[in-house]
Chains A and B, each alone.
Chain A
Amino acid sequence: DGGITQSPKYLFRKEGQNVTLSCEQNLNHDAMYWYRQDPGQGLRLIYYSQIVNDFQKGDIAEGYSVSREKKESFPLTVTSAQKNPTAFYLCASSNRDSLNTIYFGEGSWLTVV
């Protein structure tokens, strides 16, 4: 089945550590995104990528990094520079053919311990 797969579902990070969240899609979508959601809040854009080997900062990119070496994959690294990383992270993808409708993965919960 086509879809977007995020892993892990739950992740605990010690202070000072970098962690990487995986996102893979088999929808053949050109564009991929990372959003962050805090409790009771809307989604805020971290990074997005419209094509392979290219990505753009969103509204809250500081403390995060991404890569887009393959069309199917868009991993997000939460670095130690991100001072408040505890949140729900959502990966998404879209395509012009689908009117740019964004489809989301199941999300990853990151907690700092």
Chain B
Amino acid sequence: GQNIDQPTEMTATEGAIVQINCTYQTSGFNGLFWYQQHAGEAPTFLSYNVLDGLEEKGRFSSFLSRSKGYSYLLLKELQMKDSASYLCAVNSNSGYALNFGKGTSLLVTP
């Protein structure tokens, strides 16, 4: 089966840095994705990792360690609009479909 775990909720302060962790145990691995989802809206693509290491894109960075089955999403210079749910998803070779974790609800406070 597929098992993707992330914390349910996190709170951070505006301007700070927050790290959202994701661990996975899947039958195969063909890439890990991070999506942002605001309440009542569709998820939007943030990042993709298939090789070990850090991918940086503006204020957001994503890290992958395949041997540890571990990833994190790093958000810098937090803004109030970053309050959202962050979904970790793995492509485990079952076609192209992604398996999603339950998401981490991030609240950014003033």
Interface residues of A (CB under 8 A from B): 31, 33, 35, 40-45, 48, 50, 56, 58, 88, 90, 94, 96, 99-107
Contact = CB atoms under 8 A, between A and B. Distances in A.
A41 B97 contact: no
Given A42-B87, A42-B100, A94-B96, A104 B43 contact: yes
Among all A-B residue pairs, the 9 with the closest Cβ atoms:
A104-B42, A42-B102, A43-B100, A42-B100, A31-B96, A48-B97, A100-B96, A107-B42, A94-B96
Interface residues of B, number: 25
Nearest to B4: A42
19 contacts: A33-B97, A40-B102, A41-B102, A42-B4, A43-B89, A44-B100, A45-B98, A50-B96, A96-B96, A99-B31, A99-B48, A100-B31, A101-B48, A102-B89, A104-B42, A104-B44, A105-B42, A106-B42, A107-B41
Given A106-B42, A107-B41, A100 B99 contact: no
B100 A56 contact: no
Interface of B: 4, 30-31, 33, 40-45, 48, 50, 87, 89, 91, 95-103, 105
A102 B31 contact: no
Given A48-B96, A50-B95, A101 B102 contact: no
B33 A102 contact: yes
Of B40, B43, B50, most A-chain CB atoms within 10 Å: B43
Given A100-B31, A104-B42, A56 B95 contact: yes
